[in-house]
Structure 1
Amino acid sequence: MQSVVLAEHQYTTCTWKVHGLACLEIKKIIEKISKIFTALESARPRCKSGLQALCSLLKCMEKCELLFRHCSESSKLYLAISGEKIILRCERICYSLELCLSKLQDMVEPKLAAKVSQIVDYIRSVVFTLDPSEDEAGRVLLALLHQDIKASKFAKLEELKAFNFAASRLHITSPLAIVIEKRSIRKLLSKILDTDPVKKKILNYFLYLVLKYGKPTKQQDTESIEGDEDDVFDSLETPLKFKNRHLSVLSSSSSVPSFNSSLGDLNLQVDNVSIISSDAGSEDGFDMIQEKSKGFSCIPIGPNLFILGNLSVLPWAARRKAIEDVKNELKCDQESHPFISTSYVNPVFKFLKEAHQLGDSGAKRHGVELLLMFLKECRSSKTDMPPLPKGVMSDLSLFLDSEIAEEALLVLQLLSCQQHYTHEIVISGILLFLLQVIQDPKSKHHNMALKVLCNLSAHQDLAHHMIYLGFIQDLVPFLDELLLSGDCVKILQNLCAIEEAAAHFVENEGCITSIGELLELGKVEEQEHALEILISLYYQREEVREILMQDGIVSSLVHLSGNGSCKGKLMSVELLGLLNSVPDDCSQACSLSDASQSAKW
């Protein structure tokens, strides 16, 4: 019995479409219980009440699994309006788990009972909250439903504003996201049939909204009349029955003791720190405190780190020596890393640029290695990285074709995650350099180039450029390489969300076949990415169905439908259903007919 429990709860936050905060809290509880479940089962007393408590605990954990699945597979729009219900459901689950554990606590040996007691205390301390963006989207949608607007073939401003607001908050903006949302709503409709008329009416209305306002081509046409998103929220009054619900929210304290304790083991002297009032904004206030705290009684790590602030006034030899000393010092003293300030990043990059201009290879090596240390520390500490000087990508493109190419690619990998640099990346020629790297079979940097491209392809404007430059054709060979296929298929998944990419996938011989082979040979994550690509292409190009059938991918889909991951099973079953459906022209006619019928509810 315990094997079922421990194997089932594998959902992560990225699989939950909505209500990830609540699901994450439940997941933490389940993980704690799973660690002692085997011990509970082994130590259970041979009495009826003990067995009943253990069985009840298992049923509660299965309810958690159903909750995770619901938040992973359901419609985002419907999940958003179900926020209050999800919170109540989580609270009921926690109460049941607490009750079962409390019963078992009195039936096991003291050491195990103490562990059970800790979990019970943790459950009692949990507070469930709604993500603010999801909550806002749900309230706008509920207000729209409350107006009971009749379906119409003409666009209505209230519907348009509300849908655009909710779609932006719930990330239903890309063509693929819209397709998935339509599919999710139709799945829900097929399950409820006529058993729940109210839910059916709501789902039909949401399907009507997505079909009517969810087409990407209409987004640009409506920008001039969308207005301010805050106006949408203010203009739609929440139904009365939802106004009195008060959810517990996490609150922050501005007291000196609580601030001091939050700093962990640094033991900073904060008696004279002026805490910013809440009127100034909690985030800005905390940032100011953090910056001030760097000047307090922290353990010094030597003068060289602080000299970076005045590096430009030193002679070149002294600058070179300072950079080398700081780099070596940080390599030897890992405890110094938490005291690295983001203000040191810009001086080091300026030094690196000057070293390149002077042709000083040794200085370039020391500079880029120190820059990497600082950038990695910013990422690991989740500190906001300061924007580097204007033209940084043009300078970085010069380093890519030099003796520090590998380190420069690592820097680019860190910076490429940020939307801030996308325009500079386009004009700097970095994309063309990366294209040359992957086209060169003798290049030593295929792995790093693919990791950078994986980050870049996540930015839609850069993904468009990658498609026009012909990256899809040159990426296909890497699908057959064991160590590179993971990043490659992730890039292709990002690209296939763009409508223009579908033609390139179909036109490049062997592309879909290679993607299909990952269903059999790839790792779990690669299989899931491949399935998402094939499903997306199926909806975008009619000829994909014939290619999938001819290349024998069906057998791999059948295997995955019974032996894949939870996500893989669902997508395999869905794609098998599509491949076994009626011809595309008939299917499209039926779909349009159904959509028209649904809008009349």
Structure 2
Amino acid sequence: MGSDAAEAEDILSVPSSYKVHRAMCTELMRLVNRAMSLLPEIEAARPRCSSGMQALCSFNQAIEKARQVLQHCSEASKLYLVYTADAILSRCERSRKLFEQSLLQIQNNVPVLLAIKISQFIDDIRSATFTLDLAEEEAVKVIHQLVHHGAPESGSVEDLELINTFQSVVSRLHITSPKAILIERRSIRKLLSKVGDDNTKKKKILTYFAYLFKKYGNQIVTEQAETIKVESDKLFLNDDTKCDPEPRRSARVENQTSPGDVLSDPVILEEFKCPLSSRLMYDPVVIASGQTFERVWIQKWFDEGNNTCPKTKVQLNNLSVTPNGTMKDMISKWCAKHGVSMHDPSVELKIEATPSLDHSFMSIASIGDSVNDLHIHMDLSNVSFGSLDTSFNSDSSLPKITRTNENSKKKSLDSIWRLSELPWLSQCELVEDFRRRVEHNGQALYTTSPENFLSPISKFVGEAIHHRDIKAQRNAAQLLLAYMKKSRYGAKDLTEESYSVVVSLYSSEEVKEEALAIIETLSSQPHCRPKIAASGALALILDALCSRSRGLQGSALRILHNLSSDSDLRPLILSLDHIIPKLVPFLKDTKVSRHALFILQHLCDIEAARISITETRDCIASMAELLDTGNSEEQEIALSIFLMLCSQRLEYCQLVLDEGFAVIPALVSISINGSEKSKVSAMELLRLLKDVNVVEDQQDYSSGTDPDQARPRDHGDHHKENKRSSSSRSSGLFSIFSRPKR
């Protein structure tokens, strides 16, 4: 199968393989080859948004449909191909249109260098033309006359006219040898085998062609008149001069000075070309390196996160662009002198979608319309001619695409960086509009550079707070949150001023959740955590932790969880007012207990935190309860905290033993049934607690005092009356691990 497919592809790439319409097929094959060369690069930069994926799918379909046309023209009957020339022409035009539409969408979702290649290909697609030359049009007329005659009686005048017409057709098509006639008859039979019973018109026409070859084929072979040679000299199908399409001038430069200069293009000066696209500049701008580029392409280069000059490779101090008015005037004068039209490349990039395709776009069922106008004596007028290729019948597999209006184009991402230049109401309208667009297309922010987005939006937030515009604050906050989550740059270039703006959003009661959501997203990135602490966000996080909103509390715990992962920030977190006592209630909340445990585990590196944990009412008891009721992750974290406490000071071990009734049985159970990690931790903790108990008993025995009397009864405000009984129980529990020495 693979070798056959490769062989077929090689055959299609040779112009002589097309039986007829070689000029059109050669032009279409040129587009297919160009598309195939771009396809790997497009797939490598596969757009992540749904519209980009749909466009890529349409592009693959365009390639496949074009190849089907070429395959049809290399295999089908010559007579039938000429008879349906208008249909073939229509299919070529529709393939060209589908190429253009799919590439226009893909162009907006790929890196700038690939977008430039696609733009150049789009120019070539638009310059491609598919027409029937005079010889082809004449052949079409002759075949239609042939079909119009029908099947007259033998020996009649009409029969002689039919023979002459048929001989004229086959001589034009070079079907004059026995081999050529055999190939043609086989092609007709192959088409007939593929025609369905419901496609009566096509079936009758092919049957009629087969009848003509059966009746008059021998006369064609024996005919050696000189007129056939004369006719063959006029062949439009095998004439080498017709195989190659007439050289076309680039669509990018059109010389309109005079008809005599059609073949001589004016040479564009290098300084008039954009170094990125190598095309005549429409809106030249100067960047920090002093180089001039086309605005739309250099802006797209910057939007992809590049901070160097594409030409000199020098890193830029800033990404600002300045209009080059002098260059613009020079280019305009040169174009006026040479009659060259200037094209705005931003028009293509701003087209976010292309018009929806008609059903006729992917169907050639309308081929029969032109046939119905002929008075064919075969009773075909009421029969649908159908399609040459059933795979071209419907566009149901194509995405339905709609055109955006001009207002939507103006409110594009390109306008965000100029946000501050607009009146306040227009700024609010633009931000809200773009937020809605991001909701429907999450990848719209993927390649947006921080310089062109974060700075203007941060300024907008400050203005919204100044105007006390809650709606504007919420829209901006949601847009910032979307950028943090969906942009490939994240918050790596977020300035300290931007952090302060986000913190200030928390001052509005209605936007607190959005502000904390942004801080939570930032806290998940290690390089952002010190900046969060420096912005004063810790105070508002503590405020959220103490609020009655479970949503705010959950966000605050997750933020503290992330921030406490940074050892340098732990002293700052511990310095928050009564932070550990405020975490204890969350140890009993199954939805957030893991975050509270992680925070305590991280803070246990600090002695002050360990002291606070042991002195805080119900803190050890709540963690001990999690050893029995928590999941495996919570058990592992609680065990880690207990190990850090007990390995530091004997007093901490004693406080854990005071909870022995809950701790020891749970440790025994975990050491048997827990995860591998928790088993090891539980056994180690049991060993530490057992050793402490033995040491204390030996000390009491050597001093001649009763062990229970030797232990202090008033170590903490929550261990007074049950101290003696708990110690006795722990001693009893540890006895199961002891064996008398022999």
What TM-score do the two structures reach when normalised by structure 2?
Answer: 0.39
What is the TM-score of this pair, normalised by structure 1?
A: 0.47
The structure whose Rg is larger is 2
Structure richer in helix, relative to its length: 1
